[in-house]
Structure 1
Amino acid sequence: MSGGSSFRQSKQSRGRSVFPHPLQFGAILLILLPNFFPSLFSPLGRSYLSLFSEWIAPRPMHLHLLNGALQHPSSAEQESDLWSPLPNQGRKPCAAQNNPSLPKKSLGYIQVFLDGGLNQQRMGICDAVAVAKILNATLIIPYLDINAVWQDSSSFEDIFDIDHFIQTLRDDVSIIKELPSDFSWSTRGYYATGIRETRIKTAPVHASATWYLENVLPVMQSHGIVAVAPFSHRLTFDGLPSDIQHLRCKVNFQALVYVPHIRTLGDLIVSRLRSSPSMDGTSTSMYQRGNDKPGVGKYVVLHLRFDKDMAAHSACDFGGGKAEKLALAKYRQVLWQGRVVKSQFTDEELRNEGRCPLTPEEIGLLLTALGFNNSTRLYLASYKVYGGEARISTLRDLFPLMEDKRSLASPEELAGVEGKASLLAAVDYHVSMQSDIFISASPGNMHNALVGHRAFKNLKTIRPNLRLLGKLFVNESMEWSEFRQAVLHGHRNRQGQLQIRKTNQSIYTYPAPDCMCPA
């Protein structure tokens, strides 16, 4: 398998052309469009103009640090310490130690309709099982709404092994794939066309078990069925019986398994990542090469969450100049009509508060300061990077062995997941769970889900200190050696050390103590 990345620019595209440079062409269009196409400058048309910012290559924002990173590779000792696994932290998984007790008779059926992306839906599924247990209800396999951003219509059984799910939880909760014929009318479309007595749409965020017993159970008993929508984040993390908490852990860490073809594709990608690239562009097994250098046969996953929505909503400066700032401001206005609070602050204020996601350049500098180098196998878990190749070129300079799904698998191998955002995200999740180290450039649902799942399995996960890094990056006089020392010091206790969940924190991000017992 070739180690080359699909992101790499072809040689032909580097040649000279008689056509205008894209930057020149974009500038001409920006001048002429208002005269010839005034409709483009309506509120709807403004969203299209943000595309022009992607033609303007963002400049490196931290060139002085970048030069230092390229000239001062990490030491072998630093690499060895970085790749070493986590020690035993005094806790072990105990999600399966609850005593299943399925009542003889269910009190009715419950449906939930889950919005959001894959990982938000994953957490919603866990909560749905818990609520069904609280109500002594039969759960219909959760319905996954089509996400407005990803436009993916994949169902539960397209993503998760539905038979494994039901079998794993058979002694805890009654779960069925489809409604009985008497309730076949209870569909997503039915609830979308008017007010229905069997739908609960007022469930508060982080509702208690008592709220469900007082507000949902009576409806279910009266009609035989109840539907809760919206449902995401509608169950509290605190004040629940331990058996309900254990059940949530069991669903998340045991019952939710991806369908076989996703696992097979993920395992194929992992095997290729663990192969060592040869000078001729082929890959050879680490065992064949007999190389015991630190990092050989290992890989790190970088979740690079840097899409246009995130960039616009953050209101930070990402090095694209005035054109990019204007394009993102217009995009922000169209989508959120000025309701983005962060846009009221300057870039420096946001960075000092750690409220700016890391750019590909900045995450590259962080990884280099931590001890990764140009021989590191870096897997990029990402949907679409705002700014394209120009945005990630600096990261590639630092990590030439960077790969992704399309560089490690053929179109034929990807055919079963291509064009389906949830399935692609599931592949990335599977690859991330097998990695030696995981790091995310900014918080989000995938970050939260993987931080918790890897903590449950005692796997190394680096959590960037965004507040520290924001202050370091605005200091333009800082030398590389000083930056590296500050990064190492500020991340000593952010590399997978187990954190005990605090009040209001998610059980899916902080599984101890609810899902992890003393060893």
Structure 2
Amino acid sequence: MKSKIFAFCPLLFLLLPNFFPSLFSPLSRAFPSLLSEWNAPKPMHLNLLNGAMQRVIFDDYRSRVWSPLPDQGLKPCQDFSKSQNLPKRSRGYIQVFLDGGLNQQRMGICDAVAVAKILNVTLLIPYLEVNPVWKDSSSFTDIFDVDHFINALKDEVYIIKELPAEYSWSTREYYATGIRATRIKNAPVHASPSWYIEDVLPVIESYGIAAIAPFSHRLAFDDLHPDIQHLRCKVNFEALAFVPQITALAGALIDRLRNPLSAKRKGEHMNKLEGMNGIEAGKYIVLHLRFDKDMAAHSACDFGGGEAEKRALAKYRQVIWQGRVLNSQFKDDELRNQGRCPLTPEDIGLLLAALGFDNNTRLYLASHKVYGGEARISVLQKLFPLMEDKKSLLSADERALIDGKASLSAAVDYHVSMQSDVFISASPGNMHNALLGHRAYKNLKTIRPNMVLLGKLFLNQSMEWSDFQQAVADGHKNRQGQIRLRKKKQSIYTYPAPDCMCKGRLQRLFGGLTSLVQ
């Protein structure tokens, strides 16, 4: 027991300053070498930063970066309802227990509906597991409009809110207390429909019900009947709608982003707005900053925090992953050349500035808990002084509705992101993937950072701003929402064409579009 306690001590030491900053601040001043990880990181690209601060954006260029995407010849398929008819009787019941964050669970919900269709069974509204990191216990009905969900799919799959009385024993608690014949624990990642027919259907036929846990990425993306693919599209893009509480809160954020001068603000914020001229009327960009300590440590890159930060991240890798991080074998310049370093707030700010967004841009930060805190974000704030987040735009009472509820907060950000004129994510992840696909489905502008190009550019410490600006513009011409056809093994939720999108009104598209950007 003592050995376990001592083994936990290094992790505890690393985490304490995050929870008790007032206690550790005096210690860091008294013993700077002890806690110097929390010193403010320095800008890494001063030469580029100076150029970006003095940038001048001409009207035609400003108009171009905000202009919507042209019609790409693909539209959401209108014949989703033409799938196989719903059989008169269901073979039994299926439950799924979804782990991960909101956007991973969203994809799991779509897969669960597809599996229920494949097996011709009734789906119980999916159970959302409590995420061990975020510790959010929000249920499906807290996030999604369950009546809309069931009604939108009523001609496709049988879906119920509660199990019949004879199956009321089949609960999460029941499966957590022992080995159960009705629980499927070995569902392979990206399982084929035949696996479900051969391994899950017999359990349902024997017991009337089967529960699959875990259920994340448990259905293949390839070699499925077009009707099943279309059903997944229908679930993701039509059946999953947020509850009114979420859309109302997101709507308030959107209104305040689009109408900043009409919104009630603190005096300091109003002064900031009134001091700006030429604000792009009614437009805003959403930035999903994905730069937490886990990502920073796992990448093994240098982020401008000096030797103290390098040692702290190395120690964190040792505690969390026992040093088993492949990237740690390489030098920073090698990782950047390969595009394997996540973009910092400074990096993403320089990227946006080079693309043509000026300092009057309304920038909303979604899910932006950043390693290094305000000090790390300060450079981005200088480049985009009209930067906002939920804390700056919502009242204390409004924020209380989602405080401590990471899934609800993520849902609000998702809705705000879907309504934005431009969306950009600093690094790939589940939210990035979900929004990339959903916005492609709606033909909305979404910037995909060219990580390899940016890594090489940022290594050149002598590069002038004009050269950087030109290189960024050239390297991102075809990375602003142009539709890319899904390749084998890629997610249908990230790349909805050709499975979810058709040419013309009803024609399904399954190839022959070689002119599209791959």
Please give the TM-score of this superposition, normalised by the length of structure 1: 0.88
Contact in 1 for aligned 2:144/2:243 (Cα 8 Å): yes
- What letter is aligned with 1:209? P
Change (3 A) 1:357 1:95: farther
Q: How many residue pairs were aligned? A: 478
Q: How does 1:43-442 map to 2 (within 5 A)?
A: 43-48=10-15, 52=35, 55-94=38-77, 96-100=79-83, 101-277=85-261, 295-442=280-427
Which sections of structure 2, spanning at least 5 residues, go unmatched? 19-34, 505-518
Q: State whether residues 74 and 368 of structure 1, in contact with CA within 8 Å, keep that contact through their aligned partners in structure 2.
A: no
Change over 3 Å in CA distance of 1:294–1:81 after alignment to 2:
farther
Deviation for aligned residue 1:43: 4.0
Q: 2:429 aligned with 1:444, yes or no?
A: yes
Q: Quickly say closer, same or farther: Cα 1:404–1:54, change in 2 above 3 A.
A: farther
Q: Point out where structure 1 has 5 or more consecutive residues left out of the alignment.
A: 1-37
Q: How far is 1:130 from its partner?
A: 0.2
User: What is the aligned partner in structure 1 of residue 25 from structure 2?
Assistant: none
Contact residue 95 and residue 250 of structure 1 kept, 8 A: no
**Alignment-mate amino acid for residue 74 of structure 2:** R
Query: CA deviation digits over 1:265-309, x for unaligned, max 9?
Result: 11111011011449976779x9xx9x9968321000000011111
Letter in 2 for 1:350: L
Change (3 A) 1:97 1:67: same
In structure 2, distance between residues paired with 1:235 and 1:359: 34
Question: Which whole-Å CA distance do the structure 2 matches of 1:135 and 1:283 have between them?
Answer: 58
Q: Partners in 1 of 2:296 and 2:214 — Cα distance? A: 27
Name the CA distance, whole Å, in 1 between partners of 2:76 and 2:346.
Answer: 37
Measure, in 2, the Cα distance between the counterparts of 1:138 and 1:435.
37
- Return the alpha-carbon distance in structure 1 between the equivalents of residues 493 and 36 of structure 2: 37
Contact 2:45 2:458 (C-alpha < 8 Å) held by counterparts = yes
RMSD: 2.2
> How many Å separate the matches in 2 of 1:142 and 1:65?
49
Are the counterparts in 2 of residues 46 and 331 from structure 1 also a CA contact under 8 Å? Answer: no
Taking structure 2 as the reference length, the TM-score comes to 0.89
Residue 84 of structure 1: CA displacement? 0.6
Segment drifting more, 274-283 vs 262-271:
274-283
Instruction: Name the structure 2 match of 1:464.
Output: 449
Structure 1's 41 and 455: CA in aligned 2 closer, same or farther, altered over 3 A?
A: closer
Q: 1:313: Cα distance to partner?
A: 1.5
Q: Which amino acid aligns with 1:412?
A: D
Code of the residue aligned with 1:83 in structure 2: it is W
Q: CA deviation at 1:199?
A: 1.1
Task: Give 3-state SS (helix, strand or coil) of 1:111's partner.
Answer: strand
Worse-superposed segment, 381-390 or 369-378:
381-390
CA separation in 2, counterparts of 1:442 and 1:273?
Answer: 24
* SS of the residue 1:98 aligns to: helix
Matched, 1:475 2:473: no
- Residue 160 of structure 1: how far off its partner (Å): 0.5
CA contact 2:292–2:371 (8 Å) conserved in 1? yes
Offset, 1:334: 1.8
- 2:475 corresponding residue in structure 1: 490
Q: Is residue 11–residue 316 contact of structure 2 (8 Å, CA) maintained in 1? A: no
The AA in structure 2 aligned to 1:310 is M
**CA–CA distance in structure 2, aligned partners of residues 331 and 282 of structure 1:** 38
1:339 deviates by: 2.1
Residues 113, 230 of structure 1: 8 Å contact kept: yes
Q: Are 1:374 and 1:400, in contact at CA under 8 Å, matched by a contact in 2?
A: yes
Report the 3-state secondary structure (helix = DSSP H, G, I; strand = E; otherwise coil) of the residue aligned with 2:295.
helix
* Contact kept in structure 1, 2:287 and 2:366, CA below 8 Å: yes
Which amino acid in structure 1 is aligned with residue 70 of structure 2? P
- Does the Cα contact within 8 Å between 1:49 and 1:327 map onto a contact in 2? no
**Paired AA for residue 203 in structure 2:** V
Q: Distance in 2 between matches of 1:224 and 1:323?
A: 59
CA contact (8 A) 1:102 1:173 kept: yes
Secondary structure at the counterpart of residue 380 of structure 1:
strand
Amino acid at match of 2:15: Y
Instruction: Work out the CA distance in 2 between the residues paired with 1:294 and 1:498.
Output: 30
Paired position in structure 1 for 2:23 = none
The AA in structure 2 aligned to 1:85 is P
Percent of aligned positions that are identical: 70
Paired AA for residue 180 in structure 2:
R
Mapped to 2, the partners of 1:435 and 1:515 lie a distance apart of 22
Q: For the residues of structure 2 that align with 1:485 and 1:444, how far apart are their CA atoms?
A: 28
Q: Measure how far apart 1:41 and its partner are.
A: 8.8
Amino acid at match of 1:145: E
SS in 2 for 1:365: helix
Code of the residue aligned with 2:455 in structure 1: it is G
Supply the distance in 2 between the matched residues of 1:294 and 1:389 (Cα, whole angstroms): 25
**What secondary structure, in the 3-state scheme, does the structure 2 residue paired with 1:417 have?**
coil
Alpha-carbon offset, residue 95 of structure 1: 5.8
User: Which amino acid in 2 is paired with 1:172?
Assistant: E
Contact 1:80 1:294 in 2 (8 A): no
Partner deviation per Cα, 1:356-398 (whole Å, 9 max, x = no partner): 1100000000000000111000000024111111000000000
Secondary structure of the corresponding residue to residue 343 of structure 2: coil
